[in-house]
Structure formats: C-alpha cells, structure tokens
Structure 1
Amino acid sequence: MTPAARLSAAIEILDNWLAGAAPEQVLTRWGRANRYAGSKDRAAIRDIVYDAVRCRRSFATLGGGETGRGLVLGGLRAAGADPDGLFTGDRFAPSPLTEEERTVLDLRNAPPAVRLDLPDWVLPLMQDSLGADCEAVAHSLRHRAPVFLRVNTAKVSRAGAQAALADEGIGTTEHTLSDTALEVTSGARRVHISRVYQDGLVELQDAASQAVVDLLDVTPGMRVLDYCAGGGGKALALAAQGAAVTAHDIDAGRMRDLPERARRAGVDIDISAPGQSGDGFDLVFADAPCSGSGSWRRAPQGKWSLTRDGLDALCLMQATILDEIADHVRPGGRIAYATCSLFDEENMSQIKAFVARRPEWTLTASRRFTPLDGGDGFFVAILETSPGTR
C-alpha cells in the first residue's frame, strides 16, 4: 500500500470508531476484509489510528473537524508533514484538500483541555490530583507508551534475558523502576514470537506495574491472594518471587490464559475462589477496577469513554473491594490496594475513607507513579492490622 492509501484506510477506520465502535475491533475487521494489506501496512495504519485516538481533540482542531479525515489531516499537520502530497485524489488516496481545509487553526489559542487532549470534565480532576505535574503528565498521555518486559527471575537473570533477547534481534535497556524491568528499544513486534517469550523467560508488563509488586515486600512461602487478578500479570510476578499465590477475579474468564502462562513461567498458581483454599492470607492484593487514567496512552479509548457517572460507580466498587479483601487476611496480615489511576478520589481518598470505616487498619506505605517516572500511572497503598484485632 502507498502512504496515501494507508491514510485512506485510517480515515475509514476512524470514522467507524467515531460512530461508536471500539478501535481494536474496527482494525481487526478491516484487516480481515483487506487481506492484501501486509503486516507493515497494518502496523502503519494501526499507528495512525491510535495516534489519532490519543490526540483526538488537538488533531480535530488542526484538521478542521472531528471526522476520520479531520483527525488524519490534523495528525499530519501535528507531525509537520505536507498533506498536499498525500491528499491528491489519485487512486486509493484521500481527495484533495478543500479551501476550508486549508485554513489551519492555531492550537496555541485552543482551550487547555483541547491542547492536552482531555475531556473538559477530566482536566480539573487531573489538576487537583497532580498539581504542578498535570500538564506534563497529560502531554505524556498523548504519546505512545514504551514496551516493557518483566524478567522471570525464577528462570533467568536480567542480564541473561537481555543477552537471549539480543540473540533474537530484540534490543533492551534496564529500567530503574524495577530490578526485573527491561525497556524494549528495538524489535518490539518480535517479542511475542521470540523463543525467550515462549519459554517464559520474560513477560510483557509495564515497569511501574512491576515496581508496585516490588513494594509489596513478598518473601518465599508467603500466602498471597491476588483478588483482582485479571490476566494474571501481577500474580505471575508474585509467584516468581516465591509466594504461594491464589488468583481470583470476579470475571473468571479474564483468567482463562493464566494456567498456560503459569506453566510457561514455571510457577504454580492456585485459581480458586477466596475461602476455597482457606482464608487467613498473609497478604491480600487488589489491583482494583478503575478509570485506567494512568494507562491512557496504552488504551486511549478509555479517555473518551469514561463518564462522571462511570467514575462514581467505579469508586463505589473500589470501596466495596477494600472492605471485602480485609476479611480474607490473617490477624497481623496486610492488604495492598492498587489502581492504574491518576485520580486522587480513586487512590488516597479511598484509603482515607477505608481507614475511617475500619480503624483497626493502619496505612504503612503508599506511592504514586506517573508517566513522568517512565512507566504507566499507578497508585499503591499498603495497610496492616495488629495481631489482636482480627
């Protein structure tokens, strides 16, 4: 496909997204319907589409309208490219620019939420939660996230994993957020098919997510319940540190790949409901459902689909989860609450409200990560109760 044909495909896909379809689903359907498109074409189109989703408001301003065509045109202008050489109307190319489209608006005069590619109602939340870092964090969410790997130290050292990846043409550098983290610098699209990945020496996992697990201070033999396990990335990391992990999720289907991932990683994970294998865990960890605002550069659709009512519902769910996990801990044990959110009301405000409801629990540590630290946005709080209170 020519570069212009890729733009036309992206325009079609973005129009479907703006009509209400999920971008990943539209991309998949387009690929199946256009088998002639090679892997490089599909990758290039995906990049154009997701850049536009991340930068929806600023690209629409630069392109003169919130349409697939406007977003693609705005993306070209944001990158400093000349659209006339691509919008030619030739075979498979977008039609030439209209006189109206040749009028370029100055983004510097746009409202802050437009320049930062945020919904209007979200910007105050970001400002209240992040203070002076708000604008820098919002700008980071407009760009593609790095690809990170977690080294499975149950099988290999970080240096050993780097060497093995390099042999397969995948370049990496160590990341400071975690001793198990590698940032992929080249060959990212080869990770899934690499022998290093298939043999369980590495897993795809954000560096800040790995740092959250490090802060849990797990020791070999510790009984840990991962209460909101999802796909199981953190459960695998906990098991690699020697914990006896039980994984649970309210949607058991989300864990369907976990047994195979655990087998590949060479660890044992018990998948059962809390209580089936006995309560009284040393640590109960909950990476709670949340807005996902810390990971919007990876999943930018969430930035536009989140509503105020939806956030309120999530906050109610988070409070319920905190109360539930406290009942599965042994006397003197700990709970850890985490989100991939940047919003205070999902993070420290939840912890303060929980401690007010349950004064037997004491906050012992907390940390917030933002994309300025290099990984996704995460929050984690660790609480403990004295042996005599439960």
Structure 2
Amino acid sequence: MTPAARYQAAIEILDHVLDGSAAEQALTSWGRRSRFAGSKDRAAVRDHVFQALRCLRSYAVLGGARSGRGLVLGALRAAGLDPEAVFTGEGHAPKPLTEGEKNPPSGFSSASEEHDIPDWLWPDFEASLGAEATDAAQALRTRAPVHLRVNMAKGTRASAIAKLSDEDIITEAHPASETALTVLEGARKVKNSNAFQSGLVELQDAASQAVVDFVPLADGQKVLDFCAGGGGKSLALAARAKLRLFAHDADPKRMKDIAPRAERAGAQIKLLNPGAPKQEAPFDVVLCDAPCSGTGSWRRAPEGKWRLDRDGLDRTLQIQSRILDEACELVAPGGVLAYATCSMLAQENRDQVDAFLARTNGWTLEADQAWFVHQGTDGFYIAVLRHVA
C-alpha cells in the first residue's frame, strides 16, 4: 500500500467507528477484506485510526468535518504535512480536496476543543488536576508507551533487559516500579519473544505495577483481587510475595485468560465465582481495581473519551460505591482494603474514598497516591484503607 492508500483505509475505518462500530472490530473487518495489506500496512493504518480517535475534536476542527475524511485531513494539518500531497485521487488515494476543504480553519473555540476533552467533562478535569490539567490533556493526545513487568519470580530486571535485547527488543528501566521496563524498540515483537512466552515479562503499564507495589503484602497472607478482570494485577501480586491468592470478577468471563497467564508465570491463583468471596472470607488484603471512567488509560482506549457521558460517569460512581461496601465486608480485622482506579478524576478517587470513610465505621486511610499520564505512565490512583475495628 502507498502512504496515501493507508490514509484512505483509515478514512473508511474511522467512518465505521463514527457510525458506532468499535475500533478493534472495524480494524479487524478491514483486515479480513484487505488480504493484500502487509503487516507494516496494517500497523500504519491502525496508528492513523487510533491517533485520530485520540484527537477527534481538534482534528475535526482542523479538517472541517467530524468524518473519517475530516479527521485525516485534520491529522495531516496538525502534523504540518501537505494534505494535497495525500488527497490526490490517484490509485487508492483519497479523492482530491474540494475548494471548501482547502481552506484551513481560523482556530479553536474552547480549551476543551483544543485539548480534546469533552465539554461537559472539562470543568471536572480541571478541578481534579488543577494546573496540570492542560499537560494531562495533551498527554492523552499522544500514543501511550509500551511497558513491561518483569516477573521477579523468574528473573531480574537486568536479566530481562539482556534477554529481550537478544531478540532485538530494546528496553530500559522505568522509575515508577522496580519491576517496570519501557520498550524503546521492537514493541511488536514482545508477544512472540522467549522472554514473554516463558513468563519472564508481561505487558503492563508502569503505574499499574506501582499500584500493586503500594499494597502492603507479607508472605502467607490470604489476598483477594476482587475486580480481577484479565488478571494483570493478580499476577503482579503473586510475584511480590508467597500468598494464598484468589481472583474474582463480577463477570467471570473476564477472567478467562488468568489460568493460562498464571501457568506461564508460574503463579498459583484460585478463581472465585460471584458469591464465593463471602464463603472464603475473611482476607488479609482485598484489592479493588474498580470499574471507572478510564480517563487515565484513554491513550490506549481513546473511544472511551467520546462515549463517556455524565449519566455514565454517575452510574460508574454508584458502582464504585457498592464495590467498596461489598469488599469491606470481606476484610479481616486489622486487614487492608486497597481501592484503585485507572482514573484521574477526583470524584472516582479521593472523593470516593472520603465518602466511604464517612459512611463506614472502623476504617482509616493509611495512604494514597496518584499517577498522571503526563508523568510517563497511565493515570492511576490507589488508597490503602485499614480495618481498625
């Protein structure tokens, strides 16, 4: 495919996404129809699509339309490239620009438009991040770094760096966690590497690793990952100490990958169906990586930025509150409830914790910490609550 043909493919895929299709689904459907596209073509088209979704509002303004064509035109202008060199109509290139499309816009109408945040959310975003709101919003407009977690049960960070280098995957230590690596070159090779297949490394954001580091653990403890999902934090917990470790999710189907991942990592994790945690309680530590707005991971899942609305956020806040109320009943006296989100919004983080403490006797906040996207990781929050009664 020519570079222009890649842009045309992105236009078609973006139109499907704007009509309601999931980006991954639209990309997969295009890939099945486009057997001629090589791996580099597919990677380039994917990059075009996801970057356009990260910057949907500003690109739509720069391109004059909220359409696949408008977003690609806006992306070219934002990058300082000549759109007429791409929109030639030759071969599989996009059709030539109309006279109206040749006139770039005069500017943005609001800060939220320029920074690619929904209008309704910008006041909350600013209130939550203060002077750092603009930096965080701008970081969400960029591609997320690729981070790895070194499984210390199978090696050291230095040995992982060396083994990955042998397979032309260049990494360096990330300061957020002693287990974290940043992939500098060869990110697309990671999943097929010996280091990954042997369980020495896992794909996991550095702040997600730091969240697990923040949880106080000791050998022999009985620990529950209450909102386990795919098990990334369960695996990280297992690597930190010799635990009796349990994983649970309200939707057990989300945990389908935990067993093979645990086998690869050499970890022992018992999966619990809904209702089973009460039978296994009490636990010394319960980690709740609660469902959230995902504002801290919008670089990786940019569709979420545009599909979230006020009602959706309010429903999420209610779910988080219920999860805290349920999970606290599972913690032994003297034990820990660790509440985490991949959000940067105060409503989902410290405000949620303060509300829990106000309505629930016998708990105290020991410590909390936040990580933000403009600091080189995804946005995350964790609070460590102690059961004192």
TM-score tier, shorter chain, comes to over 0.9
1:333 alignment partner in structure 2: 335
1:231 alignment partner in structure 2: 230
2:60 alignment partner in structure 1: 60
* Cα distance in 1 between the residues matched to 2:309 and 2:278: 37
Query: Identical aligned pairs, as a percentage?
Result: 55
- State how many pairs are aligned: 386
1:127 alignment partner in structure 2: 126
Q: Structure 1, residues 71-123: CA drift from partner, whole Å, max 9, x if none?
A: 0011011111111111111111111111111111133x431111001110011
Mapping for residues 82-231 of structure 1, pairs under 5 Å: 82-107=82-107, 109-231=108-230
What amino acid is aligned across from residue 117 of structure 2 in structure 1?
L
1:372 alignment partner in structure 2: 374
Q: Secondary structure at the match of 1:176?
A: coil
What amino acid is aligned across from residue 146 of structure 1 in structure 2?
P
For 2:346, which of 320, 344, 347 is the aligned residue? 344
What amino acid is aligned across from residue 338 of structure 2 in structure 1?
A
Q: Secondary structure at the match of 1:325?
A: helix
What is the CA distance between 1:334 and its match in structure 2?
0.9
Q: Structure 1, residues 237-257: CA drift from partner, whole Å, max 9, x if none?
A: 000112221000001001101
Q: Secondary structure at the match of 2:192?
A: coil
* Cα distance in 1 between the residues matched to 2:89 and 2:264: 51
* Cα distance in 1 between the residues matched to 2:59 and 2:352: 35
What amino acid is aligned across from residue 362 of structure 1 in structure 2?
T
2:358 alignment partner in structure 1: 356
What amino acid is aligned across from residue 308 of structure 2 in structure 1?
L
| Structure 2 residue runs without a partner (length 5+) | none
Q: Secondary structure at the match of 2:378?
A: coil
What is the CA distance between 1:278 and its match in structure 2?
2.2
What is the CA distance between 1:305 and its match in structure 2?
0.5
* Cα distance in 2 between the residues matched to 1:275 and 1:215: 23
What is the CA distance between 1:275 and its match in structure 2?
3.6
Q: Secondary structure at the match of 1:381?
A: strand
Q: Secondary structure at the match of 1:192?
A: helix
1:298 alignment partner in structure 2: 300
What amino acid is aligned across from residue 74 of structure 2 in structure 1?
G
Mapping for residues 231-310 of structure 1, pairs under 5 Å: 231-242=230-241, 243-273=243-273, 274-275=276-277, 278-310=280-312
| Structure 1 residue runs without a partner (length 5+) | none
Over aligned residues, Cα RMSD in angstroms? 1.0
* Cα distance in 1 between the residues matched to 2:299 and 2:180: 19
* Cα distance in 1 between the residues matched to 2:317 and 2:188: 36
What is the CA distance between 1:310 and its match in structure 2?
0.5
What is the CA distance between 1:221 and its match in structure 2?
1.7
Q: Secondary structure at the match of 1:309?
A: helix
What is the CA distance between 1:276 and its match in structure 2?
6.7
* Cα distance in 2 between the residues matched to 1:10 and 1:118: 22
Q: Structure 1, residues 318-353: CA drift from partner, whole Å, max 9, x if none?
A: 000001111111111110000001111111111111
* Cα distance in 1 between the residues matched to 2:221 and 2:166: 36
Report whether the alignment pairs 1:6 with 2:12: no
CA contact (8 A) 2:331 2:387 kept: no
Hey, which bits of structure 1, 4+ residues long, moved more than 6 A?
Answer: none
Q: TM-score, normalised on structure 2?
A: 0.98
